[in-house]
C-alpha cells in the first residue's frame, strides 16, 4: 500500500474523546476527522455536548480519554492561547471597557506582536468585517450585529488554523442571522480557513456547512453532507431531528427485485426500494419526507412515476397550514394513521388547493422512501 501523504491527513483528528462531569458523560467516546478548509457544523439538541467538545478543541477542557491531533500532533500539552485554534464565544465576551480596536488587538498584544504590526493587522480585520469608522467605539455603542463582527475580527486576528464558533448567530434576529450566515460563508471561503460551528439550528447548519455532525447524548449519530443527512438519514432519531418526516413502523414481509414490501402497523402495506446496504432486520421504520408525498383528488395519473409502483393512501384532509412557499396538509388516512404532505406553492393564488374535510389521495414512490432498521 502506498504511504499516506500529508495531504491525506485530516487537519484535525478527534480520537475516542470522552469527558465526564461527575458521573455524567457530556462527550462519550467521540471520533471525528476534519479536513483543511472545511466548514463543519456540530448540530444537536441542547445539552448534547457540542460546547464541551468545542472547549476541548480550544483547550479549555481536558479530555478524560482519547486524543486530539492537529496536523498529526497531539495537542494535549499545548496551552489554549498557544494553539492555532481560536474560539468565538456565544455571548461574544467582548471587553466592555475596551474600544473596538483594542478588543481586536487584545490577543495580538498578549502574543507580543509589535505595535506597527498590530496596527496593520487590526486595520485588515476591521476592513474584513466591515467595521470601518467604528474603531474607537465601545461595545455598548454597537448593535448586536456589529458586536458579532468585532468578536469575529478578534477571533480571526491571530490567523488561527481552525476557528471554533459557538452559536455565533444566536443573538441576532432572523433577517440579520440570514445575511450574516452568507457573510460567514463568504469569509470562510475567502480565507480558506477551517471553521467548526456549533448550532442547534438545523437550517443554519445546512445553509453554512459542507458537512454536518449530528450529536445526541455525547455521541455523533451521523456525519454527512447536508443533502445526505436529509435524504439518507442513518436512524429514526436523525430523520426526526433533521427536518420534518412521516414515519411508519412495520415488518418486511417480502422482497422482490430490490423492492421490499412492508406491512405497516395500521394494516396497510408500503413498497420501498431496497437501499444499497441490504436490510437485514424485519422490524423497520419507513421514513418519507412530506414534500415527497404528493396529493391529488383522484390519485396519480397512470404514468406518474414511470414504471414505478406507487404507494397510494386514501384519506381526508384534517388540517391545512399555509406557510408561504408551501402548504402542509395533514391527511387522516382511512387506516387511522396520519400523513403530512408539503405542497410547493408555485403559482400566485394557486387553485390546486385542498380544504379540511376534503377526500384526497396521498401517494409516493418506493425510491423516495428511506428504510431505517430498528
Ligand atoms: P447547548 O446547546 O444548550 O449549549 P451543548 O450541546 O453545547 O448545549 P454542553 O454545554 O456541552 O451542551 O453540555 C453537555 C452536558 O454537560 C450538559 O448536560 C451540561 O449540563 C453538562 N455540563 C457542561 N459543562 C459542565 C460543567 N462545567 N459542570 C457540570 N456539568 C456540565
Residue 370 has pLDDT above 60, yes or no: yes
In this predicted structure, what is the pLDDT of residue 349?
Answer: 78
Q: Count of CB atoms within 10 A of residue 151's CB?
A: 23
Count of H-run helices and E-run strands, the chain: 8, 20
d(CA 337, CA 25): 38
CATH number, domain 244-373: 2.40.50.140
| Ligand 1 shell residues, CB under 6 Å | 21, 26, 44, 46-52, 200
Compute the average pLDDT of residues 330-353.
89
In this predicted structure, what is the pLDDT of residue 306?
Answer: 58
Ligand 1 binding pocket mutation candidate from 19, 41, 48 (most atoms within 8 A of CB): 48
Ligand 1 center to residue 80 CA distance, Å? Answer: 20
Of 220, 252, 254, 215, which is closest to residue 371 (Cα–Cα)? 252
Considering only CA atoms, which residue is closest to atom 26 of ligand 1?
A: 21
User: Per this entry, what is the length of the chain?
Assistant: 374
Backbone angles phi, psi at 46, to 5 degrees: -55, 135
**One-character DSSP codes across 123-139:** HHHHHHTT-TT-TT--G
Q: Is the dihedral of CA 190, 196, 198, 203 positive or negative?
A: positive
- Kind of pairing between the strands at 39-43 and 194-199: parallel
Residue 280 has pLDDT above 90, yes or no: no
Residue 175's pLDDT band, with cuts at 50, 70 and 90, is confident
With cell 459542507, the residue in question is 210
Considering only CA atoms, which residue is closest to atom 28 of ligand 1?
A: 21
Distances in Å between the Cα of 9 and the Cα atoms of 35, 46, 209, 263, 299 are 8, 32, 20, 46, 53
Of 270, 231, 273, which is closest to residue 251 (Cα–Cα)? 270
Of 372, 358, 220, which is closest to residue 289 (Cα–Cα)? 372
With cell 448534547, the residue in question is 48
Residue 281 has pLDDT above 90, yes or no: no
Compute the average pLDDT of residues 297-314.
74
Q: What is the pLDDT of residues 208-245, one digit of tens each?
A: 999 999 999 999 999 999 999 999 999 999 999 999 99
Considering only CA atoms, which residue is closest to atom 7 of ligand 1?
A: 51
Domain residue extents for the chain: 6-236, 244-373
Point out the ligand 1 atom lying closest to the alpha carbon of residue 22: 29
DSSP state of 28: E
Compute the average pLDDT of residues 248-253.
93
pLDDT above 70 as % of the chain = 96
Residue 161 has pLDDT above 80, yes or no: yes
- pLDDT, averaged across the chain: 90
**Does the domain formed by 6-236 have CATH 3.40.50.300?**
yes
Equal fold, 6-236 vs 244-373: no
Ligand 1 center to residue 166 CA distance, Å? Answer: 13
Q: What DSSP element (H or E) covers 212?
A: strand 211-216
Ligand 1 center to residue 49 CA distance, Å? Answer: 6
Amino acid at each position: 500500500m502506498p504511504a499516506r501523504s500529508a495531504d491525506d491527513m485530516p487537519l484535525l483528528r478527534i480520537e475516542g474523546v470522552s469527558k465526564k462531569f461527575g458521573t455524567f458523560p457530556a462527550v462519550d467516546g467521540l471520533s471525528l476527522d476534519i479536513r483543511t478548509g472545511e466548514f463543519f457544523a456540530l448540530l444537536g439538541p441542547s445539552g448534547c455536548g457540542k460546547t464541551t467538545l468545542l472547549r476541548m478543541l480550544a483547550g479549555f477542557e481536558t479530555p478524560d480519554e482519547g486524543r486530539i491531533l492537529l496536523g498529526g500532533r497531539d495537542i494535549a500539552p499545548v496551552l489554549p492561547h498557544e494553539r492555532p485554534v481560536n474560539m468565538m464565544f456565544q455571548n461574544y465576551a467582548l471587553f466592555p471597557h475596551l474600544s473596538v480596536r483594542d478588543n481586536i488587538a487584545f490577543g495580538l498584544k498578549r502574543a507580543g506582536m509589535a505595535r506597527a504590526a498590530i496596527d496593520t493587522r487590526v486595520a485588515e480585520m476591521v476592513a474584513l468585517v466591515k467595521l470601518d469608522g467604528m474603531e474607537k467605539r465601545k461595545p455598548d455603542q454597537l448593535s448586536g450585529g456589529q458586536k458579532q463582527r468585532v468578536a469575529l475580527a478578534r477571533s480571526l486576528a491571530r490567523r488561527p488554523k481552525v476557528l471554533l464558533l459557538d452559536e455565533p448567530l444566536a443573538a441576532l434576529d432572523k433577517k440579520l442571522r440570514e445575511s450574516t450566515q452568507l457573510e460567514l460563508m463568504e469569509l470562510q471561503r475567502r480565507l480558506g480557513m477551517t471553521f467548526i460551528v456549533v448550532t442547534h439550528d438545523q437550517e443554519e447548519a445546512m445553509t453554512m456547512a459542507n458537512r454536518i455532525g449530528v450529536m445526541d447524548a455525547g455521541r455523533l449519530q451521523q456525519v454527512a453532507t447536508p443533502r445526505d443527512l436529509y435524504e439518507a438519514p442513518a436512524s429514526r432519531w436523525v430523520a426526526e431531528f433533521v427536518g420534518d418526516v412521516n414515519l411508519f413502523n412495520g415488518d418486511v414481509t417480502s422482497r422482490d427485485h430490490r423492492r421490499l414490501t412492508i406491512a405497516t402497523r395500521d394494516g396497510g402495506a408500503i413498497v420501498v426500494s431496497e437501499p444499497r446496504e441490504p436490510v437485514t432486520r424485519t422490524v423497520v421504520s419507513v421514513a418519507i419526507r412530506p414534500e415527497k408525498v404528493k396529493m391529488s383528488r383522484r390519485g396519480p395519473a397512470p404514468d406518474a412515476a414511470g414504471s414505478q409502483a406507487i404507494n397510494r393512501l386514501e384519506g381526508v384532509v384534517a388540517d391545512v397550514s399555509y406557510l408561504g412557499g408551501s402548504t402542509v396538509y395533514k391527511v387522516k388516512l382511512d387506516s387511522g394513521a396520519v400523513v403530512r404532505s408539503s405542497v410547493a406553492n408555485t403559482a400566485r393564488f394557486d387553485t390546486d388547493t385542498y380544504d379540511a374535510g376534503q377526500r384526497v389521495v396521498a401517494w409516493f414512490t418506493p425510491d423516495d422512501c428511506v428504510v431505517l432498521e430498528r
